[in-house]
Structure 1
């Protein structure tokens, strides 16, 4: 770190002048003229920050769904890259493959549903099963009338995310919306790795 050299303050110059007045110089020929007065720096004038006039609702955004993922989640599932055999995937989506195990999460809270889903998927994987059906339901059809907004279809939106997180992500090969015969948009096919 380099230090910036400062000039002497007026008080320091006065003291230095008194000390050097009585001292005998070692080399009188080197005696230099007194240092020039430093140029005073202009002091910045503080300016108050500019504040725009306040307007009610000026920065408010338009209200959409009470659930941030509501319109986008089915599209996210459909847009997932295909990680399994295309022929098997087509048979699964059309409902021609029969699920080997089924988990119904109707009426469960998020706190109860997640451990149940983890237990179900890990148990089915341990048993060598490949195709699972997880029924979440579609959720309420309209928001409640209370002051606190409620999310529509919470389990329907949360289950695919749980399946993409640890400890289930390494076990799951593909998550797809179920065919109409097995619950449609209120259920998911979970295809497990071997």
Structure 2
């Protein structure tokens, strides 16, 4: 059962609501009426303001006549397809510092037990992650293989010269005997850019 209350119009407003609404609606100032209130016909116009430019003082130093701009020669940007330089052999002094552990070997990886392709993937991931962590020198143990000609060891130089590792490796050389001799390599990494 509904309560009986004051009668409502088609919008659902009571006579009291309608009275309040008309009062509020009448007090609203729209942007259009605001603009019209600012510019009223017959109102005094403000006096015209005259602006005179200020003369700039002349410089005390004589200036040379203006020269026409000559376009600078186009910059020689390196070709984006230009391959990065291949890693070089380490300098003897750097190799000596690594072998005497004056420059720290910050990480090492042992590739024994991996096949050729698996070892290449492991090495690539290892070197890229070491460079990302800011390391500068690592030791890679390849092993000598049977009869001194291991598959991984013989492919190592080829891997170091691959385009993927050129931006990572700055140089490499055979390690000192106490770090693995002919079965290991010192690898120096480029700084992160």
| Structure possessing the higher radius of gyration over alpha carbons | 2
Q: TM-score, normalised by structure 2?
A: 0.49
